[in-house]
Amino acid sequence: MDKQRTIKGKVSFEGIGLHSGQNSKIEILPAPINTGIIFIRQDLGSQLIKADFYSIGSAEKFPRRTSICANGIYIHTIEHLMAAFNLLKIDNAQINIWGEEVPGLDGSAKEFVQKIQKVGLEEQDAPINFLVVKEPIWVEEAQTSIVALPYDGLRMSYALKYDNPLIGTGYVDVVLDGNIKENIFEARTFCLEEEVKSLLDTGLGKGANYENTLVVSKQGVVKNKLRFPDEFVKHKVLDLIGDLYLAGPLKAHIIAVKSGHSLNIKLLEKLRRYREKTVGAGVGSHTSFVPTTNQLSSEEIMKLLPHRYPFLLVDRIIDMEKFKRAVGIKNVTMNEHFFHGHFPGRPVMPGVLIVEAMAQVGGVLMLSNEENKGKLAYFMAANNAKFRRTVVPGDQLVIEVVAGKIRSKTGIVYAKAFVDEKLAAEAELMFALVD
């Protein structure tokens, strides 16, 4: 059985974003089983964005890189870091980031891979949740295409063709098994010399230079040289490896012809629909984390609850007395997924999700005690639920939960949700505690 893996310790990186030209910093930390890859914008109040199908930014709006977003907040150019995670078979990691773009470093995944290898990896006691492709899935656009075929592992085959005489054609076929045998991670990003002005005119490439980006003229690489003859095609493979890790651990043979970020993202959209048809959606994680303070960040909440974006409806716990009382907050923004289909002309937060947010604060309260370490709190019933006012984008829900009868296997809490100190909803909630 293949086991999940995380990083053993913290590693940090700092540098200029390739497109924004702005300095940014990231810290990569270990994460519990079933967390996946999560980014936290520490410069914007600990906004959490999980790197998966549901957080992918528009390739049309953000071309020539891969972006993720949540609640109107973005993180750009994640593909080289995601490729490092995929190459090293890291299932769970927390990335604290200060800035809107992952540092570009040398334009490849080299520094990410080498620093992570130095700190080491740790096997975790849970099986890997593979997305197993059992039928052909493909996308195509003009003269580019990608197909995912059944395969017992992960294999990437990529064919490249450029009119530029130096780039020309190239082909790579590689099996990704966690043991890095190829120099793909060292392949740097590139662009044609005639593209430079148009990129800068559209606000891209502000942090690019001749060291972190191979600028290719018809005479050769400008003010630099190739690390290896097939560096161009291997960088396209690196981007593909990183982009497809937004699908999580994958079992498939990927065959790509001249694809880039835009087509990669279209394949991810098809893989998402395939997963939704074939795989159950529940998250079964729990840990032995016990809070030691009366305030919890979103990442600490995820150590107690099995919920993950987009269904984690509590941003922070701002006050807590263990087994007595907890207060959490949920910032409601226009970018919430449910607003796309729930009164889209006049968005209102669904009452059932307000109850769910209250239940999540209740779950934190139930699981914050040493006696319930490692358990799951299943929301079983809601009694006397009442909704006093609508909750709309821009509101901040302040949720107060007070413990009622708590036994070894069940518990009752009383929850109230306020907006601007006015009662919005209330309910009596029952939980079952299971190992």
pLDDT of 124-153, one tens digit each? 998 998 999 999 999 999 899 999 999 999
State the pLDDT confidence band at 239, using cuts at 50, 70 and 90: very high
The CA distance from 423 to 186, in Å, is 56
The CA distance from 30 to 10, in Å, is 7
Do 84 and 36 fall within a single domain?
Answer: yes
The CB density around residue 262, as the number of other CB atoms within 10 Å, is: 17
Do 265 and 405 fall within a single domain?
Answer: no
Residue 287 lies in a domain: no
Q: Contact 2/84 with Cβ under 8 angstroms?
A: no
Do 166 and 252 fall within a single domain?
Answer: yes
The count of domains in the chain is 2
- Answer with the one of 246, 278, 310 that is the final residue of a domain: 278
pTM over 0.75: no
The answer on pLDDT for 283 being more than 60 is: no
Q: What pLDDT digit, counting tens, does each position of 348-387 carry?
A: 899 999 999 999 998 888 787 766 666 666 777 788 889 9
Where residue 95 sits, what CATH number does that domain have?
3.30.1700.10
Residue 284 lies in a domain: no
Residue positions annotated with a catalytic role: 261, 342
Supply the range of the domain harboring residue 88: 3-278
Q: What is the mean pLDDT of residues 242-265?
A: 97
The CA distance from 251 to 241, in Å, is 13
The answer on pLDDT for 118 being more than 60 is: yes
Three-class secondary structure assignment of 376-407: EEEEEEEEEEEECCCCCCCCEEEEEEEEEEEC
State the pLDDT confidence band at 320, using cuts at 50, 70 and 90: confident
| 80-94, 213-227, 404-418: range with lowest mean pLDDT | 404-418
Three-class secondary structure assignment of 248-260: CCEEEEEEEECCC
Query: Dihedrals φ, ψ of 393, to 5°?
Result: -55, 135
Do 257 and 342 fall within a single domain?
Answer: no
Do 7 and 139 fall within a single domain?
Answer: yes
Under 8 Å CB-to-CB from 213, ≥6 apart: which residues? 18, 107, 188, 189, 190, 191, 205
